[in-house]
């Protein structure tokens, strides 16, 4: 019998990651795209490690894994994985900690600029031959000297602040777990109370995990207190913003606009009112889908598995369960 470790790659990853497995003498691997529970159960029971993207890994699947030692998340969020079951089965959970902050931070700037510069309206004006009507269009908004609140000052928040500073924005940080010293060193101003802080913001960008404390954090009663020119961006996790409340707030002109990369349910149900709301800019959970980032994530998710079995997986990549 082969003593090679069996690696299950759930959902395909960039070839650069697969190359690491193909060239490694100690591993056998299989990539699966069929996410039916029966298929995953039959494969998971034999594997020593798995790499997973956004597919759900509930307790019953994890409990079926007799040999599984490491779950390597392709990405940094792990709300799709039952962490209690992983802990109970003594399974290590790793993330691609160094791969995607830049891509997500750039995506936030892309949304912020598109919304504030009314990209769709101005673009269609020219393309529909209405250039001469430009004086009748509603004006755009500058980022210069505007207040932005970054909620969550981890990897992505700390990458975003540099880009906001490049646009000479005033950056406020809401993250109870990061010290004033670290925030100020990077040019931000720490705020302790989210509800008070949002009232003065021209932009708000969310970079916190989804959990029981953050679910529906942005709801109608908070949206009601925001400035009318506020732009809200969520490239963290759906569920942090209440989507029905956001739709209502946008329709009532309580805020200027919103940019969402993530949704409560993915893909969003076709009845989701935000799909028909012109004041919201959407992307299909693709903030990290740059060519460069997909290569980094593909390599890191596999390298984490290799490093784990070679007993040199960096602590910063391991989630404390
Ligand atoms: N759209 C995408 O494709 C994409 C890609 C990567 C990450 N994400 C999501 O972005 C988010 C941030 O990722 P990261 O890599 O920066 O994570 P991180 O763990 O490095 O940072 C998260 C920060 O949030 C803070 N935090 C936790 N709970 C909080 C709370 N209740 N209020 C305020 N701050 C709180 C933590 O102290 C930490 O500093 C995660 O939700 C992740 O799932 C999305």
Sheet bearing 203-206, strands edge to edge? 189-190, 170-174, 147-151, 203-206, 231-234, 257-260, 280-282
Q: What percent of the chain has pLDDT over 70?
A: 99
Please check whether the two domains, 5-99+291-317 and 101-282, share a CATH topology.
yes
Does residue 117 have a pLDDT over 70?
Answer: yes
- Going through the chain in order, the beta strands assigned E by DSSP cover 5-10, 27-32, 49-52, 70-73, 92-94, 147-151, 170-174, 189-190, 203-206, 231-234, 257-260, 280-282
Does residue 307 have a pLDDT over 90?
Answer: yes
Q: How many CA atoms lie within 13 A of 13 on its CB side?
A: 33
Does residue 4 sit in helix, strand or coil?
A: coil
Does residue 66 have a pLDDT over 90?
Answer: no
Does residue 296 have a pLDDT over 60?
Answer: yes
| Ligand 1 contact via 268 beta carbon (within 6 Å) | no
Chosen CATH of 5-99+291-317 out of 2.60.40.4070, 2.40.160.10, 3.40.50.720, 3.30.420.40:
3.40.50.720
| Tokens, residue 87 | 């802990």
Q: 90-116 pLDDT, tens per residue?
A: 999 999 999 999 999 999 999 999 999
Domain ranges of the chain: 5-99+291-317, 101-282
| Ligand 1 contact via 209 beta carbon (within 6 Å) | yes
- pLDDT of amino acid 3: 84
Active-site annotation holds for 266: yes
> In whole angstroms, what is the distance from residue 212 CA to residue 214 CA?
6
User: Would you identify the CATH topology of the domain 101-282?
Assistant: Rossmann fold (3.40.50)
Q: 218-251 pLDDT, tens per residue?
A: 999 999 999 999 999 999 999 999 999 999 999 9
Gap from CA of 210 to ligand 1 centroid (Å): 8
Q: Ligand 1 atom 8: the closest Cα is on which residue?
A: 236
- pLDDT of amino acid 158: 98
């Amino acid at each position: 019998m082969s003593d090679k470790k069996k690696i299950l790659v759930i959902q395909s990853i960039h070839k650069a990651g697969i190359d690491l497995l193909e060239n490694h003498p100690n591993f056998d691997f299989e990539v699966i795209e069929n996410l039916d529970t029966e298929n995953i159960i039959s494969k998971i029971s034999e594997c020593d490690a798995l790499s997973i993207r956004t597919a759900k890994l509930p307790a019953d699947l994890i409990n079926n894994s007799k040999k599984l030692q490491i779950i390597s998340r392709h990405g940094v969020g792990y709300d799709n994985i039952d962490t209690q079951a992983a802990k109970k089965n003594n399974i290590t959970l790793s993330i691609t900690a160094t791969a995607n902050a830049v891509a997500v931070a750039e995506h936030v700037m892309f949304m912020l600029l598109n919304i504030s510069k009314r990209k769709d309206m101005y673009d269609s004006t020219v393309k529909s031959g209405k250039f001469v009507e430009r004086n009748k269009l509603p004006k755009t908004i500058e980022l210069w000297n505007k207040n932005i609140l970054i909620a969550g000052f981890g990897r992505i928040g700390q990458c975003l602040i540099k880009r906001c500073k490049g646009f000479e924005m005033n950056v406020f940080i809401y993250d109870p777990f990061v010290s004033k010293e670290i925030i100020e060193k990077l040019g931000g101003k720490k705020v302790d109370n989210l509800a008070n802080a949002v009232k003065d913001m021209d932009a708000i960008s969310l970079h916190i995990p989804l959990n029981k404390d953050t679910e529906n954090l942005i709801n109608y009663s908070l949206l009601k207190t925001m400035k009318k020119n506020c732009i809200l961006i969520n490239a963290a996790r759906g569920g942090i913003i209440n989507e029905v409340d956001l739709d209502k707030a946008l329709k009532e002109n309580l805020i200027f606009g919103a940019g969402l990369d993530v949704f409560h349910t993915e893909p969003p149900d076709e009845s989701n009112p935000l799909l028909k709301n012109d004041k919201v800019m959407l992307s299909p959970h693709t903030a990290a889908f740059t060519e460069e980032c997909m290569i980094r994530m593909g390599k890191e998710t596999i390298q984490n598995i290799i490093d784990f079995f070679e007993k040199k997986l960096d602590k910063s990549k391991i989630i404390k369960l």
